[in-house]
Amino acid sequence: MNIARLIKGQPLWRWLGLLLLVLAVVVACAKNPVTGQDELVLMSEQQELAMGATYYPQTTQLNHGLPAGDPGLQSYVAGVGRRLAARSHRPNIPWQFNVVNTSQVNAFALPGGKISVTRGLVSKMSSEDQLAAVVGHEIGHVTARHSAAQYTRGVLVSLAVVGLAVALSMSDSDWAPVGIVAAGVAGQLLMLSYSRDQERQADELGYMYMTQNNYNPKGMVQVFEMFKAMQKSEPGFVQAVLSSHPLPSERIEAARQRVLHADPRLTSQPLKTQGFNRALALQKKRAPAYAAMDKGSALASQKRYAEAASYFQRAISLYPQEGLFHTNLALVYLQQKNNRAALQEAKTGAALSKNNFYALMVAGATYRVQGDYRNGAQSHFAASKLLPDQYINLFYLAYCLDRLGQRSYAANYYKQVVKLSPKTKYGTTAQTRLTQLGYK
């Protein structure tokens, strides 16, 4: 149906009324678990749970999976999270907690109670109280259904953009396409981070959950002060958390005020460090190895590949069981055209980091440059099962299949690349190849 043709010539109020009628049909009101008030939501709890279950494994993959050989850390963080969640406003949803293997300082909550803290953040902490402050804050985002609110806002923005696009498409102005693009960008910008009100509410809920579990609320103040200090000393590592969780000075001051008004039995007790230090012992021991990796990654981004390789080699010498070090070294060797060494490191990385997207994709790349398209296709295919929508990986999977003569299979993946990224060099190259193969 051509909507523009259907409503062309109709008064503006009429097609806007039609849009509002559609909204009235699909909109549902639900009680917020925290406030008890009715609010407009376009995501049911079942949808929220399903979304979290679907995307939690993928976000874990995007953050390099779990730190190698440290199940004790996972169980410790999950235990803290479960105790906090049990005293929350939504104790009965299927909560999950993990530590993901990235040096970025961040923590994030997916719909339905799926929460991750990065290795980079937990390694910067010094007490369980600080960990409880971060995890409690993320639990607050879930219990207050902030993701559902963001989703609802996104749908409403999209509908507004559709309405604007329809109106502009009926205009004879040459500016119509510009208006459509601007409206779309504005909708995307609205969804970049939690609102300040949502951050304040998550802070308050995190404070409530941690103090109900006998944690010292000074831990939250210390976390905020750490972020503020890192913003000056290590801005690259703390950028992710500050972009998704803005930290204006009033949030820090509010945390300090909560401490002043908290039960003195909590604020006077020592921070919980003994169990925390035991749980973090391996990560503290491995810190020099990860620091070497981070330095190598920074050098590689500057195309100083020989220096980067030396840092990755140092990381491996300090902790050879971390597949991420080998995978990063393989990429540097590829840049240096040292393909044989690259393949060896990539295979080691993939063997150590089983079922890890990044390791499998790099292994596929090293097989491909060696002309081993069969093993390359197998590695890229395995990676695609872990992250189905990564178009670069799909492009090279299609390329390997294409070189193996499996043109129909290759075409299916080329089509996915075009659909996912039509304007990138991968999308345009895939479209060109589809045309050569006789596909529209």
Average pLDDT over every residue of 160-166: 42
Range scoring the smallest mean pLDDT among 36-45, 168-177, 243-252, 395-404? 168-177
Specify the pTM.
Answer: 0.82
Residue 112: which residues within 8 A CB-CB, separation 6 or more?
Answer: 48, 49, 50, 51, 52, 53, 93, 94, 142
Cα→Cα distances 23→4, 13, 48, 307, Å? 18, 15, 20, 58
Looking at residue 148, its pLDDT comes to 66
Cβ-contact 392, 429 below 8 angstroms = no
Taking 90 as the threshold, does the pLDDT of residue 438 lie above it? yes
Looking at residue 2, its pLDDT comes to 45
Phi, psi of 28 (to 5 degrees): -125, 145
> Which of 264, 223, 250 is closest to 132 using CA atoms?
223
The more confidently predicted of residues 293 and 248 is 293
- In 81-140, DSSP assigns E strands to 96-100, 107-110, 114-118
Model confidence at 34, in pLDDT bands (50, 70, 90)? confident
Average pLDDT for the chain: 85
pLDDT digits (tens, 9 = 90+) for 414-434: 999 999 999 999 999 999 999
The gap between the terminal CA atoms of the chain, to the nearest Å, is: 23
Sign of CA dihedral 50, 53, 54, 59: positive
- CA 325 from centre of chain: 21
Phi, psi of 20 (to 5 degrees): -65, -35
Q: What percent of the chain has pLDDT over 70?
A: 80
Residue 205: which residues within 8 A CB-CB, separation 6 or more?
Answer: 34, 88, 89, 136, 137, 139, 140, 143, 144
Model confidence at 241, in pLDDT bands (50, 70, 90)? confident
DSSP 148-205: HHHHHHHHHHHHHHHHHHHHHHT---TTHHHHHHHHHHHHHHHTSS--HHHHHHHHHH
Model confidence at 113, in pLDDT bands (50, 70, 90)? very high
Question: What is residue 34's three-state secondary structure?
Answer: coil
Taking 60 as the threshold, does the pLDDT of residue 175 lie above it? no
Report the 10 Å Cβ neighbour count for 287.
15
User: What's the CA gap between 279 and 132, in Å, rounded?
Assistant: 14
**In a 10 Å sphere around its CB, with 0-12 CB exposed, 13-18 middle and 19+ buried, how is residue 42 labelled?**
middle
Provide the β-strand partners of residue 118: 100
DSSP 256-305: HHHHHTS-HHHHTSPP--HHHHHHTHHHHHHHHHHHHHHHHHHHHHTT-H
User: What's the CA gap between 278 and 282, in Å, rounded?
Assistant: 8
Question: What is residue 307's three-state secondary structure?
Answer: helix
Average pLDDT over every residue of 254-271: 96
How many helices and strands, by DSSP H and E, does the chain display? 23, 5
Q: What percent of the chain has pLDDT over 90?
A: 68
> Which of 366, 321, 369 is closest to 344 using CA atoms?
366
Looking at residue 172, its pLDDT comes to 39
Range scoring the smallest mean pLDDT among 78-82, 112-116, 156-160, 196-200? 156-160
Looking at residue 28, its pLDDT comes to 57
Taking 80 as the threshold, does the pLDDT of residue 217 lie above it? yes
Out of 31-35, 189-193, 262-266, the most confident range is 262-266
Model confidence at 231, in pLDDT bands (50, 70, 90)? confident
Average pLDDT over every residue of 104-125: 94
Query: Which position has the token pair 């406030």?
Result: 35
Looking at residue 369, its pLDDT comes to 95
Structural domains for the chain? 28-279 (no CATH), 286-436 (1.25.40.10)
Taking 90 as the threshold, does the pLDDT of residue 310 lie above it? yes
Q: Which two tokens stand for residue 202?
A: 């998550």
Model confidence at 194, in pLDDT bands (50, 70, 90)? confident
Sign of CA dihedral 257, 262, 265, 269: negative
Cβ-contact 337, 305 below 8 angstroms = no
Model confidence at 4, in pLDDT bands (50, 70, 90)? very low
Residue 103: which residues within 8 A CB-CB, separation 6 or more?
Answer: 118, 119, 120, 237, 290, 293, 294
